[in-house]
Amino acid sequence: MKQLYKSTAALLLLLPISMIGSAAEPAKEMGMHQGMGMMGGMTEEQKTEHMRTMQEHMLKMHDLSNQILSEKDAAKKEALKNQQLELMKSHHAQMMQHRQQRRQEHKQ
């Protein structure tokens, strides 16, 4: 349970860091989403789907974290760490792609 709290805390700390780039954007680029939050323009169905996707990602990260912490073999532990790192990179790339799409939509 302690590892779950640590993993959750680590993920929650990463979210604001990943959002730093958007905080520096001028307000005029935010367009219609200004003041509505990240999911302000979504339907309830879209919000639910987005939250389920986030939940699935968090569960995968927690599962890998637990496997890493319990693994005794150094080589297997390193392989799990690399797998988790790739998952993190993939998620980050998806977020950046989504952010770029939003910027392009706002410029139109």
pLDDT in tens, 51-68: 999 999 999 999 999 999
- pLDDT winner (highest mean) among 25-29, 32-36, 103-107: 103-107
pLDDT in tens, 63-102: 999 999 999 999 999 999 999 999 999 999 999 998 998 8
This prediction has a pTM of 0.58
What type of residue is 90? S
Interior/surface letters 88-105, b for 16+ CB within 10 angstroms, e for the rest: eeebeeeeeeeeeebeee
Structure tokens at 18: 């990943």
